[in-house]
Amino acid sequence: MPIKAEILKPALNETFWVNLIGRGYPSPNRWFRWCTDRLKINPTTRYIEEQIEKNGEVIVLLGVREEESASRARSMKKHKIKDFNLRTHSNISSAFVYSPIEDWTKDDVWAYLMQAPSPWGDDNKELIQLYSKADKECPFQMDDSGKPCGSSRFGCWTCTVVDYDRSIEGLIEEGEEWMKPLLEFRNWLKEIRNDETKREKTMKRSKKRMVFSEELGIDYDAPEHRGHKVLGPFTFETRHEILRRLIDLQENKIDKKMELISPEELKAIETILIYEGDNISSLADVLQEENTISENTDSIDISKICEKHDVSPRLIEKLMVVEKDLSSLSTRVGLYNRLERVLDEYIVTEVENRGDSTADT
């Protein structure tokens, strides 16, 4: 069949690091699995919709199987089209789903992979070895006398939804020592997720309400989930720490050089941090662990003007970053809304800091 591969990537504002470091989203868990939609579902949906726009309708081939879980089996039966080997897509109209191995068992899958070479000429031995390395409780076997392979979880190396990443642990024990720093970083991301000292006191949408309630002397009831106080995003300090550790991991800790975070993501993170009120001029402040205004003629002149008019130099710098970020756009769409967001975040932060200073005294 005339098959070609398309590599799909999430939009820049939906990547893992932009959301984790830039917006401070806590590391994903089973209740807040924000990564799946942004990294996997949205890019795929956009591509399918593009094909529908070109061709009218599409058929999506999926390797899903009813045996995977009871919920998967129920979902597959729910969308079945009578008298056809197709299902309706759960979310996209004009898209149909064909599942050629829907009634296969896990043993059937491995039996086929061991007997049939891949179209690109691989005999699948490397694939089988990869799974068997990663799952110590599921060794490779040639008959049905033991537990079948393939139950180990394979996914993102930063995944914090699972308690332990048995896949990478097994690979390290089998000699892939270069993965150790990756595992340590992943475990640290999971560890800090529920650390109250690493998180804001409340969610972003509730922060303004909380700050001004305290300023007015009104009781503020923090939202709860499953009997626990709902914490906000990672603090700016935590986001800085994650970024520094990630850059150190990429530049110094991994023998096999690879790009863990792109320059485009770094720029997006810098912009978001400044928009949200972080006290930095650029990511250089974060990576150098300095938060000083650059000592050039322009910043000195700005400082003098701000002093004369009793305006914060930091606020002016942040507003200038927004203006510069949109300076190449002819229509400047959204400029005033973004400037307003910076002002809004600055005011809330100033009121909050003033409250903390009063409490300290």
Q: What pLDDT digit, counting tens, does each position of 42-60 carry?
A: 999 999 999 999 999 999 9
Q: Given this model, what pLDDT does residue 210 score?
A: 59
> pLDDT confidence of 292, banded at 50, 70, 90?
very low
Total domains present in the chain = 1
Is the pLDDT at 205 greater than 80? The verdict is: no
157 assigned to some structural domain:
no
56 assigned to some structural domain:
yes
73 assigned to some structural domain:
yes
177 assigned to some structural domain:
no
Spatial separation of the C-alpha atoms in residues 322 and 215, rounded to whole Å: 29
Q: Given this model, what pLDDT does residue 160 score?
A: 92
Percentage of residues in the chain having pLDDT higher than 70: 72
68 assigned to some structural domain:
yes
From the number of C-beta atoms within 10 Å of its C-beta (0-12, 13-18, 19+), residue 127 rates as middle
Among 69-78, 139-148, 225-234, 314-323, whose mean pLDDT is lowest? 139-148
336 assigned to some structural domain:
no
Does this model's pTM top 0.75? My answer is no
Tokens standing for residue 149: 């392979």
347 assigned to some structural domain:
no
Spatial separation of the C-alpha atoms in residues 25 and 234, rounded to whole Å: 6
Please name which of 47, 51, 42, 52 lies closest in space to residue 93, comparing C-alpha atoms. 52
* Phi and psi, residue 215, nearest 5°: -65, -35
Among 120-129, 187-196, 215-224, 287-296, whose mean pLDDT is lowest? 287-296
135 assigned to some structural domain:
no
Of residues 25 and 226, the one with the higher pLDDT is: 25
When pLDDT is averaged across residues 169-180 and rounded to a whole number, the result is 88
Is the pLDDT at 127 greater than 50? The verdict is: yes
Q: Given this model, what pLDDT does residue 46 score?
A: 94
Is the pLDDT at 20 greater than 50? The verdict is: yes
Contact 339, 322 (CB under 8 A): yes
When pLDDT is averaged across residues 113-129 and rounded to a whole number, the result is 81
User: Which residue range(s) make up the domain with 37?
Assistant: 26-62+64-99
Contact 199, 231 (CB under 8 A): yes
Burial 287-319 (b: 16+ CB within 10 A, else e): eeeeeeeeeeeebeebeeebeeeeeebbbbbbb
> pLDDT confidence of 146, banded at 50, 70, 90?
very low
